[in-house]
């Protein structure tokens, strides 16, 4: 059950209204990496989550993002104010001015309707937490860019508040992922094919010349357990395509993992025995 | 410049055509976490990337995903074959049968048109790599679920091949992120507000009772440098809302970082001096 | 600021899981007339509302709808449960099963992503209240249809609870509209053209025969102050197209009305003098 | 069967072309509350309507809206004319200029493609008429705003003509709803739960303080038969959640009502005996 | 101005209602190649057309397609009828059953909302006519496929009527294109680069082997004035990339051509002197 | 299998960056008629194509369009460069500036996400080739308009290169269609109804006056085998609606034709005996 408190989590102050900046701010109201997207992604993951602790985490942060939606909405409304009686201001966002009466709507800075296609919800906790870490990183960089495009002190401070919270959330989701104690690249219950999983495929080359340093001596094809494989078109052998049967139950799982999907899956699911603590996500 | 080689990266074999499974497989052709989404996300990030090594990485993997699109397309076409002359099979996906003639199209398993709203492209390398790590995790779990819903050996093996490659890519993107040598939560060029960034806000409670263990003793609110803050509605003090001015140039950056966005940003951008190697993303 | 209470507003019980019914129920989770649509329409109207009382009303109901989203989400999850390990159940909604792991997502019964195109937010209170009355009527009829397609007692009772609330909200929005004390068809600040506004145009006829009773003796063209006008193609005179200049400030307004939009509008806005109480919306 | 007459319903005249105003006008051509939306909503409701009189009404107005689409299209084309040979004008709407050659297209003022997600069609006449009343109110306010953003007399007069027709249609739909002679809040065939239907839930408060006048003495929670209920989080008892079984056939219906949906619905549907005339919609 | 005649252009008869076939038929109501798409594409092209004759053609056919929308809507409604009181039938299209009450809506067979993204409207007559020829070909093949998936004689005959009209329209659009008397590949006012325009680029090969017959002896790379060019990756010289300045006014135009777009375009537009009659589109 | 060569097909040079022109250019990157749309339409048609020669053609051109996507992306990036540190430039496309960091994304000039609804893929070769001919004509006219809106020589030359290739492709697709040697209006396997197929319906008139020259003496209703039929509302007889049963196998087919769709279709499919060479598409 939800409750709304008539007190803003952060009180917004704007010196000079700037309708074109108000238009830009809509990115964080109804945009792809905005507050509604965050609120819905985490809250609905929370509805689906089977682990009580992580469910609480997801709904805590999902609910806080609703409070942020209210803050950024208030900030935008102040900047859009001149649209009500100034044609030039209205041109900054004709959709908002004409159809929306100068108020906020669930659209982004170019008037695209908000869509749940923005959300990443798989119902697998270890996967969803990675999606959330990335989502917070995106929201952080967007707030930073907005800060750089205004000179209004009150707006900058409000955005700094919101931007900071994204880093807090990024840390919380990372802590939750680490608390699952799964090996770094363990996803689901079927292990990838040995050998093939170590092959880095060089699909972009300088024609037939594959000798450049960046092509053969990067951390992602040299070290990290990955090996460079050249494509057939450049005279290489290509990837190892030996057929390999999937083996459910071979991946290391955690007690917090979501129950896997599929009638044939995990029949012989072993007891989760993580060999070591998670080091990197 | 692109070239197509008339040889599949992996040769697909199907024992028995299963139109409803073919319909499900469309998730990985024209779906949110499918091969076109991966191909486009990485390739276009690569077009935008300013670091030559990471540009190569992004286009290598983006191009490989195009080859995967071809593979999964071939697999789907075999499973959809009966739609051409069987009404019951056509009911498995009327859009594909009637409008598409039983061939593949860029839609998902419920016929939604593919949209670039699925993509996460911010133009900031350290952020985009995190989005890619999450994207690969999602693709892996989707392939695993598809494996579990078929008994056809050839289909399972093809999906195991594709699933394995996602883990390879996840490792490569992680290696690239680590190669940037940035601290774990360093995004962009403005540091978050000290103090506030450590406050975990308890926005979901058992009414006014905030004493439950999961509310006050989880890794994300206890340890990890985060502290629990209760909401005003439950008698807490709420977050620290002291105004704080953003300071561009205070975040630790890497030589591989994308150039920041904004006229006021990074004017006093310091030389990147990562104090230590990246430990976790 | 929002808060989540770990107690459902209504506790859901399901006797037998029915995945195809769970799929149908998604209409009220992520569908056009569902709970998120209601929550967002009212809450964002509330953010924009300038009258404190009506702002409270809009946010009260918008917040309650978020609690309903949680209820209907719980109901759906119970019905979708078999999707996790049964291929036939997964066929009831391949998107939910494969991409969503059998959990709820912000999609409707045919997997369309939720979009804010569903919302009607104009920033004019008297208009928005009418949109809300209609929205509640739609939600009521959809719940009624869902009730009729299940035999599960617990599901029926939960839907009856949710359906009832829509009628409560419809009454509250109607009371708010009546409290504005505007004449029945007074919208905004410019009166319609006299004469022309009374002409009902007969654009659909039985060929040139316009003599049928329903064409000339219906409440909407006979009585109610409306008069029937025949089209030129059937030998009529057509509508009165005498040019008429718009006159801002001629419509009767209320103290609760939103401030009007436009630089030339309302310059001579008269004091609101409603001649009589609102009779019908 | 449709016929097009080579005579505009209203002849448009424009003094000075204003491309940015032309861009704004697209809201009423291909926008959410525009003429195509109206034409399609009413016409398709008309195709579905079982009552001959109301079917005629819906198609009369739906067809008139097609004629309005033609008028507003002509108005827009005149304003967009400079886009053909002036770069600055083209910047007013690059999509229209580059992709559309300066002509009209089914997009709104920010280039969003028209979508049937804008439409509200439930197949229940009493519900659809409410949706239409609200739609006309929205279209009226949008025309009024457009009038206020231009100084061109011919454009203003054309918009006044179109705006006036929306009020006419609003009156006609209201007359039709009243002609059904249903009680004010009677929707479908299942009555809401007694008691619960009278409870107004106070989901937004000033923290635990629920004593403010607007919280306890508004027309929607005091009078109108509605009573105020406080939330559990603020110390209230919450809504009455006693299970209640839905009873099809208990709502008062009209002879014009659409046939209800659902296999279990309306088995004991009583003869419609409206006790009194409809007072308010 | 439009008028609706209460007489169907073709009277539909259905023997046995088949809800899943009704669902399939939605492709031609609210689908990408359906009747509304055709009606809107041609009508709006007609609104934009500057040549009176072709304007009449476009609106003639656009209007006829509206009449077809009504026919196919009636056909679908008959097939969907069982959805009203049968759960199994409702499963054939839950969106239509639950949200739409078993009536028609502007969606396709998988419930995607109709969108103007389906339309091809460029404002250039010679281009638009080609888009229309292709659109009619698509509509024809879709009707043919629908015919093949039903055994109901009345449905087949109605679809044969509608299918036939697409061929009529295809012929009319082709006649209009030929009446422009432009050379076969003359589009707009700027000629393509000589030499380069004749080069067919072999971007898909059997690795480095470019000797296969289909690679070097097809009508599109041998004859027709086109010559085969091999890619650099396969040892070829690649396309001729010598810079070439565009020359507006060098393409052969017709008196029926739309006025070109762009401030720098066509300054020296020559008198149209088609050297010969159009042979192929 | 795809390969990327680190060499642009055409090297782009830009004199002066012009962010608003960069914004316009997005039409050809992520717009409806842009390079990704072309690449995907042809490549996926190629995946579905059963004729080896035409499959090669479709993938040749589809792959070349991917190379064009890279070229136009590079051109756009140069023009967008000022967005990174100039607020006025950022206003040219706030979505690209704020969310995309000034890089390219799969959106059009007004920020609409790319969608596969732009694509026309029916799985019928003779139909798809017509869609491709029209698509190339559209892309040509869009490039021409872009050329006319810039004065930068390097940009003009790059666009001239890309524009030229569209004409080459249009010729290649036309050659392929002609190589099928089907009669001009032969689509699929069911012939249209004789008689009815020759009737041109006059659905738009000057009221009841159908005597104007353009109404009765145009190439599409006079000659070309088509005859003019007047509508009932103007006193005509209307179309011939005599029921006619569809006859699969009566249309002339080609050895290159795709296999037809439908269980009842083509049972008596005759050997393809094209009576004469294709004259027009």
Q: What Rg, from alpha-carbon coordinates, does chain E have?
A: 24
CA-closest candidate to residue B133, choices B89, B84, B88, B168: B168
Report how far Cα F32 is from the mean position of its chain's Cα atoms: 10
> How many Cβ contacts (< 8 angstroms) between chains C and E?
70
Residue B75 near residue B9 (C-beta atoms within 8 A): no
Residues of B whose CB is below 8 A from D208:
233
Q: Chains near B, with 3+ CB pairs < 8 A?
A: A, C, D, E, F
pLDDT of residue E267: 54
Tell me the pLDDT tens digit for each residue of F49-81. 999 999 999 999 999 999 999 999 999 999 999
pLDDT of residue C275: 43
Band of the pLDDT at A278, cuts 50, 70, 90? very low
Mention every residue, 6+ apart, whose C-beta is less than 8 A from residue B90.
Answer: B83, B97, B98, B102, E24, E149
Long-range residue pairs from E266-271, CB within 8 A, at least 24 positions apart, any chain: E266/E189, E269/E189
Tell me the pLDDT tens digit for each residue of C62-79. 999 999 999 999 999 999
Tell me the pLDDT tens digit for each residue of D228-239. 999 999 999 999
Q: Which residue of C has its CA nearest to A64?
A: C2
- Tell me how close the Cα of A276 comes to any Cα of chain C, in angstroms: 27
Please indicate whether, in this complex, the C-beta atoms of C149 and E3 are within 8 angstroms of each other: no
Q: Which residue of A has its CA nearest to E208?
A: A233
E interface with C, Cβ–Cβ below 8 Å? 1-7, 87, 90-91, 93-95, 97-99, 101, 107, 110-113
Q: Rounded CA gap, E30 and E105, in Å?
A: 7
- Tell me how close the Cα of A6 comes to any Cα of chain D, in angstroms: 5
Quote the tokens at residue E72: 């196919």
pLDDT of residue C193: 98
What's F248's DSSP letter? B
Residues of C whose CB is below 8 A from E107:
110
Residues of E whose CB is below 8 A from C234:
3
Q: Rounded CA gap, B178 and D176, in Å?
A: 68
Taking residues A49-58, what's their average pLDDT? Answer: 97
Closest Cβ–Cβ partner in E178, E203, E243 for F157? E243
Residue A76 near residue A26 (C-beta atoms within 8 A): yes
What's E258's DSSP letter? P
pLDDT of residue E281: 34
Quote the tokens at residue E46: 């007609």
pLDDT higher at C209 or A80: A80
Taking residues A150-172, what's their average pLDDT? Answer: 98
Q: Which residue of D has its CA nearest to A4?
A: D204
Tell the burial category of C276 from Cβ atoms under 10 Å away from its Cβ (0-12, 13-18, 19+).
exposed
CA-closest candidate to residue C255, choices C58, C56, C50: C50
Band of the pLDDT at F183, cuts 50, 70, 90? very high
Q: Rounded CA gap, B33 and B30, in Å?
A: 8
Q: What Rg, from alpha-carbon coordinates, does chain F have?
A: 24
Instruction: Detail the DSSP E strand segments found in chain F.
Output: 2-5, 199-202, 204-205, 227-230
Quote the tokens at residue D228: 């105020």
Residue F242 has pLDDT above 90, yes or no: yes
What ipTM does the predicted assembly reach? 0.94
pLDDT higher at D213 or D110: D110
Tell me the three-class secondary structure of A151-216, residue by residue. CCHHHHHHHHHHHHHHHHHHHHHHHHHHHCCCCCCCCCCECCCCCHHHEEEECEEECCECCCHHHH
- Transcribe chain B into DSSP letters: -EEEESS-SS----SS--HHHHHHHTHHHHSTTSHHHHHHHHHHHHHH--SHHHHHHHHHHHHHHHHHHHHHHHHHHHHHGGGGT-HHHHTT-HIIIIITTTS--SB-TT-PBPBGGG----S-HHHHHHHHHHHHHHHHHHHHHHHHT---HHHHHHHHHHHHHHHHHHHHHHHHHHHT---TT--SSBPPPTTGGGEEEE-EEBTTB--SHHHHSSTTTSSTT-EEEE-GGGT------------BT-S---TTSPPP--TTTTTTPPPP---S-----
F interface with A, Cβ–Cβ below 8 Å? 1-7, 87, 90-91, 93-95, 97-99, 101, 107, 110-113
- Tell me how close the Cα of D173 comes to any Cα of chain A, in angstroms: 23
DSSP β-bridge partners for residue C248: C190
Residue B53 has pLDDT above 60, yes or no: yes
Tell me the pLDDT tens digit for each residue of A180-200. 999 999 999 999 999 999 999
pLDDT of residue D210: 84
Half-sphere exposure for C105 (CA within 13 Å, toward CB): 31
Taking residues B264-271, what's their average pLDDT? Answer: 52
Residue A267 has pLDDT above 80, yes or no: no
Q: Rounded CA gap, D83 and F195, in Å?
A: 45
Instruction: Detail the DSSP E strand segments found in F176-240.
Output: 199-202, 204-205, 227-230
Which helix (H) or strand (E) covers residue C2, if one does? strand C2-5
Which helix (H) or strand (E) covers residue C227, if one does? strand C227-230
Average pLDDT of every residue of chain F: 93
Which of A8, A104, A116 is the best residue to mutate to test the C interface, defined by the most C CB atoms within 10 Å of its own CB? A116
Which of C5, C89, C98, C109 is the best residue to mutate to test the B interface, defined by the most B CB atoms within 10 Å of its own CB? C98
Half-sphere exposure for E109 (CA within 13 Å, toward CB): 25
Residue A155 near residue A14 (C-beta atoms within 8 A): yes
B interface with E, Cβ–Cβ below 8 Å? 1-7, 87, 90-91, 93-95, 97-99, 101, 107, 110-113
Q: Which residue of D has its CA nearest to A100?
A: D142
Closest Cβ–Cβ partner in B3, B67, B262 for A145? B262
Quote the tokens at residue A190: 């079927």
Instruction: Detail the DSSP E strand segments found in chain D.
Output: 2-5, 199-202, 204-205, 227-230
Strands F2-5 and B2-5: antiparallel
Residues of E whose CB is below 8 A from C147:
none
Band of the pLDDT at F213, cuts 50, 70, 90? confident
Residue C164 has pLDDT above 70, yes or no: yes
Residues of B whose CB is below 8 A from F48:
77, 101, 103-104
Tell me the three-class secondary structure of D198-265, residue by residue. HEEEECEEECCECCCHHHHCCCCCCCCCCEEEECHHHCCCCCCCCCCCCCECCCCCCCCCCCCCCCCC
Please indicate whether, in this complex, the C-beta atoms of A206 and F113 are within 8 angstroms of each other: no
Q: Rounded CA gap, D38 and D16, in Å?
A: 29
Which of F110, F149, F215, F241 is the best residue to mutate to test the D interface, defined by the most D CB atoms within 10 Å of its own CB? F110
Strands C204-205 and C2-5: unpaired
- Tell me how close the Cα of B138 comes to any Cα of chain E, in angstroms: 25
Would you say the C-alpha torsion A250, A251, A252, A256 has a positive or negative sign?
A: negative
Band of the pLDDT at A60, cuts 50, 70, 90? very high
Q: Which residue of F has its CA nearest to A19?
A: F91
Please indicate whether, in this complex, the C-beta atoms of D233 and B233 are within 8 angstroms of each other: yes
pLDDT of residue A84: 92
pTM of structure: 0.95
pLDDT of residue A277: 40
Band of the pLDDT at D189, cuts 50, 70, 90? very high
Q: Which residue of C has its CA nearest to A78?
A: C48
Band of the pLDDT at B209, cuts 50, 70, 90? confident
pLDDT of residue E263: 66
Residues of D whose CB is below 8 A from A6:
204-207
pLDDT higher at B217 or F72: F72
pLDDT of residue F263: 65
Residue B113: what are its φ and ψ, rounded to 5°? -65, 140
Band of the pLDDT at F280, cuts 50, 70, 90? very low
Quote the tokens at residue A175: 């802590």
What's C183's DSSP letter? -
Residue D233 near residue B207 (C-beta atoms within 8 A): yes
Q: Rounded CA gap, F85 and F164, in Å?
A: 35
pLDDT of residue B264: 64
Strands A199-202 and A227-230: parallel
CA-closest candidate to residue E58, choices E44, E76, E73: E44
Which of B94, B101, B112 is the best residue to mutate to test the E interface, defined by the most E CB atoms within 10 Å of its own CB? B94
Which of E60, E114, E279 is the best residue to mutate to test the F interface, defined by the most F CB atoms within 10 Å of its own CB? E60
D interface with A, Cβ–Cβ below 8 Å? 20, 23-24, 27, 31-33, 108-112, 141-142, 145-146, 149, 203-207, 231-234
Quote the tokens at residue E53: 């004759």
How many angstroms separate the Cα of C212 from the Cα of each of B260, D127, D251, E114, F93?
71, 27, 33, 35, 56
Closest Cβ–Cβ partner in D64, D200, D215 for C172? D200
Low-confidence residues in chain E, pLDDT < 50: 268-281
Residues of F whose CB is below 8 A from C233:
207-208, 233
Residue F191: what are its φ and ψ, rounded to 5°? -70, 145
Half-sphere exposure for A95 (CA within 13 Å, toward CB): 26
- Tell me how close the Cα of A79 comes to any Cα of chain E, in angstroms: 32
Which helix (H) or strand (E) covers residue D134, if one does? helix D125-148
Q: Rounded CA gap, C218 and F159, in Å?
A: 61
> How many Cβ contacts (< 8 angstroms) between chains B and E?
70
Which of A123, A126, A161, A259 is the best residue to mutate to test the C interface, defined by the most C CB atoms within 10 Å of its own CB? A123
Residues of C whose CB is below 8 A from D7:
232
Q: Chains near E, with 3+ CB pairs < 8 A?
A: A, B, C, D, F
pLDDT of residue B267: 54
Please indicate whether, in this complex, the C-beta atoms of A144 and B260 are within 8 angstroms of each other: yes
Taking residues D180-184, what's their average pLDDT? Answer: 96
What is the CA angle C35-C38-C44, rounded to 5?
Answer: 135
């Amino acid at each position: 059950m939800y409750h709304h408190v008539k007190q803003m989590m952060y009180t917004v102050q704007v010196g000079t209204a700037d309708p074109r900046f108000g238009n830009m701010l809509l990115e964080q109201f109804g945009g792809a990496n905005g507050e509604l997207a965050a609120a819905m992604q985490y809250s609905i993951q929370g509805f689906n989550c089977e682990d009580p602790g992580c469910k609480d985490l997801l709904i805590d942060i999902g609910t806080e993002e609703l409070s942020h939606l209210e803050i950024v909405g208030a900030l935008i409304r102040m900047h859009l104010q001149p649209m009500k009686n100034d044609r030039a201001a209205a041109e900054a966002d004709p959709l908002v001015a004409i159809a929306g009466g100068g108020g906020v709507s669930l659209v982004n800075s170019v008037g695209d309707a908000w869509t749940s296609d923005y959300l990443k919800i798989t119902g697998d906790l270890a996967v969803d937490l990675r999606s959330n870490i990335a989502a917070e990183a995106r929201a952080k960089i967007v707030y930073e860019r907005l800060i750089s495009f205004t000179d209004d002190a009150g707006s900058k401070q409000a955005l700094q508040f919101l931007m900071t919270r994204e880093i807090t959330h990024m840390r919380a989701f990372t802590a939750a992922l680490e608390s699952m104690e799964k090996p770094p690249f363990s996803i689901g219950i079927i292990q990838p094919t040995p050998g093939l999983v170590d092959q880095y495929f060089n699909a972009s080359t300088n024609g037939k010349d594959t000798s450049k340093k960046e092509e053969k001596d990067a951390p992602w094809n040299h070290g990290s357990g990955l090996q460079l494989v050249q494509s057939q078109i450049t005279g290489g052998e290509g990837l190892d395509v030996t057929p390999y049967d999937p083996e459910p139950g071979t991946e290391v799982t955690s007690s917090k993992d979501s129950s896997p999907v599929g009638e044939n899956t995990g029949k012989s699911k072993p007891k989760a025995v993580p060999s070591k603590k998670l080091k990197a996500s």
